[in-house]
Amino acid sequence: MNLEDFFPEINEIEDPDLRNNTILCLQGAIEYGGWSYQDLNDIPFTLLANIPVTLVQHTRAVTQLSIAAYEIFNREYAQHFTLNRDFVVSGALLHDVGKFLEYKRDGDKFVKSSLGKILRHPFSGAGIAGEYDLPPEVVHIIAVHAHEGDAGYRTPEARIVNHADFMNFEPLRDIYKK
């Protein structure tokens, strides 16, 4: 198996260098976090109880929704501005890359790692992304996709990924709230 089997949206990135660096970043985070490809089918996207959605499922849904939003913006507003599709796709695929460092398996459950207890995934994700020659615009998307980015500037591409993320998280949180 390779990462494209888990994240076929990787192939939506047209720039070969950005595609390759996105793959390398994912691989690096998986390895640094001590995970294997077999673990990818089990890692939850949130540590909130009772939400049976994996990080892979969530990442793919956020990426697909981000691509759809980009397509609508590009179709309806292209005469006013241009967004960078590759930044949207790479940023969406990597928005939660820090969770590979934030989480660990503890027996049959998942908990915060020692790093995750002091550094949330937007920070660790931006840090690891910086090691893989990703453009600052993609690192920015990772850094500001969650509430940590609410008080500052978000590029339009980052805003798309931020909203796609919360459009996925909030309904699931509310559906499975007990």
CA distances from 58 to 62, 76, 135, 152, 164 (A): 6, 27, 23, 25, 10
> Which tens digit of pLDDT belongs to each residue from 112-145?
999 999 999 999 999 999 999 999 999 999 999 9
Q: What is the mean pLDDT of the chain?
A: 96
Going residue by residue through the chain (178 aa), what tens digit of pLDDT does each one get? 899 999 999 999 999 999 999 999 999 999 999 999 999 999 999 998 789 999 999 999 999 999 999 999 999 999 999 999 999 999 999 999 999 999 999 999 999 999 999 999 999 999 999 999 999 999 999 999 998 999 999 999 999 999 999 999 999 999 998 6
Please provide the CATH number assigned to the domain covering 3-175. 1.10.3210
Q: Contact at 8 Å (CB) between 46 and 171?
A: no
Residue ranges covered by each domain of the chain: 3-175
Rounded Cα distance, 136 and 158, in Å = 12
pLDDT reported for residue 50: 84
Rounded Cα distance, 137 and 21, in Å = 14
> Which tens digit of pLDDT belongs to each residue from 2-14?
999 999 999 999 9
Rounded Cα distance, 3 and 90, in Å = 14
